[in-house]
């Protein structure tokens, strides 16, 4: 097996500083956005509902649980023959750390309803912008994106693969106690348009290359 069968092609060296900056800033902002949604208590993305439900049941920190699930999802890449990138590894490790650190630094609880809505809307907006940044870096998809695109390459329509996976993790997470609410809907219908508007401005390669996946969760 060649390295080219496992890892995506490394971009030209002159591009790497700009790509790394986009990647790192995007992943940090993504983690902060998720933490803001958590603190709003108004609903999470499907994958975060799962992570939160498992976190409640195990006592493992939310971001740490996301890292564990991300690593398990990468195992599912093996039969799908998806290629890893630096961005894939960074996505798994960095977002979870940022989530835990941000939750640790934020106040324990926000009781004001307007404040919680600001946290929710701000979190969704940050996640949309962050998604364009890290996808635009072109250094590899997130683990959950790669799972969907891998299934698509095996004949599954990408829409069905995405809906099927996210609906499954949403239901399991909800049954485990994860927070489902208006924030879940806002995430579902809000992140895509934000990415659509910002990706052409933030991408270092044609947006068509990235059309398969839109976010970490």
Mean per-residue pLDDT for 136-148? 84
Neighbours of 160 (CB within 10 A): 12
Residue 203 is predicted with a pLDDT of 84
Count of positions (residues) in the chain: 217
Residues 78-95: tens digit of each pLDDT: 777 777 888 999 999 999
Of 193, 194, 55, 29, which is closest to residue 123 (Cα–Cα)? 29
CA 194 vs CA 103, 130, 212: distances in Å: 24, 10, 16
Q: Report pLDDT for 214.
A: 45
pLDDT band with cut points at 50, 70 and 90 for residue 213? very low
- What is the mean pLDDT of the segment spanning 16-31? 94
pLDDT digits (tens, 9 = 90+) for 109-141: 999 999 999 999 999 999 999 999 998 888 888
For residues 193 and 215, which has the higher predicted lDDT (pLDDT)? 193
42 contact partners, CB below 8 Å, separation of at least 6: 116, 117, 120, 179, 181, 182, 183
Q: What percentage of the chain carries pLDDT values higher than 90? A: 60
> Is residue 145 over pLDDT 60?
yes
- Mean pLDDT, range 198-214, rounded to an integer: 61
Listed in sequence order, the residues at least 6 apart from 13 whose beta carbon sits closer than 8 Å to its beta carbon are: none
| Mean pLDDT (whole number) for 16-29 | 94
Q: What is the pLDDT of residue 71?
A: 95
Q: DSSP string covering the chain, please?
A: --GGGTBPPPPPGGGHHHHHHHHHHHHHHHHHHHHHHHHHTS---HHHHHHHHHHHHH---HHHHHHHHHHHHHHHHHHHTPPB-HHHHHHHHHHHHHHHHHHHHS-S----HHHHHHHHHHHHHHHHHHHHHHHHTTS---HHHHHHHHHHHTT--HHHHHHHHHHHHHHHHHHTT---SHHHHHHHHHHHHHHHHHHHHH-SS-GGGGTT-----
Alpha carbon 114 to chain centroid, angstroms: 26
The answer, yes or no, to whether residue 66 has pLDDT greater than 90, is yes
Reply yes or no on whether the pLDDT at 6 is more than 90: no
- Residue-range domain boundaries for the chain: 16-210
For residue 182, what are the CA distances in angstroms to 16, 30, 56, 139, 208? 39, 19, 20, 32, 30
pLDDT surpasses 50 at 217: yes
């Amino acid at each position: 097996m060649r390295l080219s069968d496992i890892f995506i092609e490394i971009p030209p060296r002159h591009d790497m500083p700009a790509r790394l900056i986009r990647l790192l800033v995007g992943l940090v902002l993504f983690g902060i956005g998720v933490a803001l949604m958590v603190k709003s208590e108004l609903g999470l993305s499907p994958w975060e509902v799962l992570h939160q439900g498992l976190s409640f049941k195990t006592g493992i920190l939310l971001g740490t649980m996301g890292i564990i699930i991300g690593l398990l999802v990468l195992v599912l890449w093996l039969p799908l023959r998806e290629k890893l990138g630096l961005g894939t590894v960074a996505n798994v490790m960095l977002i979870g750390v940022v989530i835990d650190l941000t939750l640790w630094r934020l106040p324990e609880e926000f009781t004001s309803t307007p404040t919680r809505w600001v946290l929710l809307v701000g979190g969704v907006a940050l996640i949309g912008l962050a998604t364009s940044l890290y996808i635009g870096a072109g250094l590899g998809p997130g683990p959950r994106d790669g799972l969907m695109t891998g299934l698509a390459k095996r004949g599954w329509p990408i829409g069905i693969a995405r809906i099927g996976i996210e609906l499954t993790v949403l239901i399991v997470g909800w049954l485990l106690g994860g927070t489902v609410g208006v924030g879940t809907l806002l995430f579902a219908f809000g992140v895509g348009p934000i990415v659509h508007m910002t990706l052409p401005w933030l991408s270092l390669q044609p947006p068509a290359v990235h059309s398969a996946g839109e976010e970490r969760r």
